[in-house]
Structure 1
Amino acid sequence: MKYFEDNPEIFAALVAAIAILGGLLGSIIGAKIQANGGRDQAAAAREAAWIAAEAQRVAALWSVRQLQAAQFVRSVRELRRLGRLYGQDPNNADLRGQGRELLQAVTLKGAEIELTAPDHVVAAAKDLVATAVYNYNMDRRAGPVEHAEEALVGLCGSADEETAAAAHRAHDTIRPQAPVPHEERLRLLLAVPGLSVQHAHRLANDPEIEYRYQDLSASNLERALSTFVAAVREVLRSEDDVAPTAPVQHR
């Protein structure tokens, strides 16, 4: 202290230097703090932007999946409805054209789902496509037979005894596993008054009566449809009654 008392100019210079160094150090520390804060703010902004973009992506994907699933289910049900018409009007020329269009629609919607859905939904969609196509083909083949048998059953209730008796004899030959040769079956069917030749040949050529298996095919279709719908509802979180959200991020 004696030295500084004897040399006041040096003491003043030292104080000034300390003040300058202190100011510089404070500025450096402040700048570093500000830089770190800026980086944190920038990182927070980037993360917020990413979360917002991810939320938009999830919401858009949710909407796409919902629309695709709804269109797919509608196409499957419409194909089923069309297939059942073969049992009512098998000679309708428009059915085949409409059937081809619906088959393409079902296949296309199933393919679209393969591109956007999780694996278990894709598996359910593939099963539903295969089942729906098989079921339609079964309806298309069995519908005319069903229509022919309905005509024969109607003749079994004819007020004309000979017609009713002939119809009953012919109907006995088309029961499942009835041991009647094709020629005999056709002869008895052609002998039924009022039964068209077309109906007689349809029944004679199909002793197993394929339409008898339609109930099984229909139940398989309902099973496949229910499985697909349940899988989609799980993905869409239909039971949660909430809007889609971005997944939780773990930092």
Structure 2
Amino acid sequence: MVSWLVTGSNRGIGLGFIRKLSADPNNIVFAVTRNKSTSSDLLELESRLKNVHVLQADITDVPSLRNIATEVGKVTGGTLDVLVNNGAYLPQERADYTLDMYDGKEDLLDEDFGNFFKVNTLGVIKTINVFLPLLRKASQTSLAKIITISSGAGDSEFVVNTAFDSVAAYSVSKAAVNMVTAKYAARFKGENLLFLSISPGLVNTHPEIPEEVVLESLRPIITKFQTSYPEWDGKPLTPEQSVTTVLDIVSRLTTKDSGASLTHNGGTKDWL
């Protein structure tokens, strides 16, 4: 049995991971959500699949993470094969903000960057640290993997080439978490651990909303991206498509790839 733990699993890409992984009875899947009582899709899966365990924790809260690590260890015998850091913070408020728009709003600058770093960067560090003992124990018999869902928004070359100047705080937090991945890879170089940041692609995380509505809301960004990527069809991936491609890439990587920041296409610059 291969044990997987996915944070931010109550919707979108995270829920896509749980659905895909739990379809294989050889997987033990731990779905982490901030509020178990409102995670109806996860609870439905848990009710009918013996290999799904829904756990409640906030990735910014170490005591809650330690509590679920204890629960995971009871099921697996103290190991964890794969950690997927999918939990992230990306509210729609001020999504159009560029850095200069914070001029004269320094309190808002501190608030926004504090919130994004607290979840997207520090939350990942806290989660990895709590689960490292389980992952290192698993690595004694097979390759243990720590996968962080990142974004092309954190790649400086992509940002400049596409003039992608908005969602500034989010982008900076994702650039930072890519360095977090590299630092862990450097720290545990030589061990049977794979640390990886990977972009899921541009994904429609609201499949219940009509496609034309989603496309219209993303039109300004899509137009910018197609200027640099004219061959891209401009259609966001579904969570299922994204998860399938990410898992396929992860399945083929080895320790020599540790520390990399990859796209959902498997490269380092093919973000769309």
The answer to which structure has the higher helix fraction is: 1
Q: TM-score under structure 2 normalisation?
A: 0.24
The answer to which structure has the higher strand fraction is: 2
Q: TM-score under structure 1 normalisation?
A: 0.26
Pick 1 or 2: higher relative contact order, CA cutoff 8 A, min separation 6.
Answer: 1
Structure with larger Rg: 1
